[in-house]
Amino acid sequence: MASRLLHRHIREQLKDLKEVTHESLVVGAIENAFQLMDEQMARERRGHQVEGGCCALVVVYLLGKVYVANAGDSRAIIVRNGEIIPMSQEFTPETERQRLQLLGFLKPELLGGEFTHLEFPRRVQPKELGRKMLYRDQNMTGWAYKKIELEDLRFPLVCGEGKKARVMATIGVTRGLGDHNLRVCSSTLPIKPFLSCFPEVRVYDLTQYEHCPDDVLVLGTDGLWDVTSDCEVAATVDRVLSAYEPNDPSRYTALAQALVLGARGTPRDRGWRLPNNKLGSGDDISVFVIPLGGPGSYS
pTM of the model: 0.92
How much is the pLDDT for 295? 54
pLDDT of 210 reads 92
Which pLDDT value is given to residue 297?
43
For residue 298, the model assigns a pLDDT of 41
The three-point CA angle 293-297-298 to 5° equals 55
Tens digits of pLDDT across the chain (299 residues): 999 999 999 999 999 887 888 899 999 999 999 999 999 999 988 777 777 899 999 999 999 999 999 999 999 999 999 999 999 999 999 999 999 999 999 999 999 999 999 999 999 999 999 999 999 999 999 999 999 999 999 999 999 988 899 999 999 999 999 999 999 988 899 999 999 999 999 999 999 999 999 999 999 999 999 999 999 999 999 999 999 999 998 999 999 999 999 999 999 888 899 988 888 998 899 999 999 986 544 43
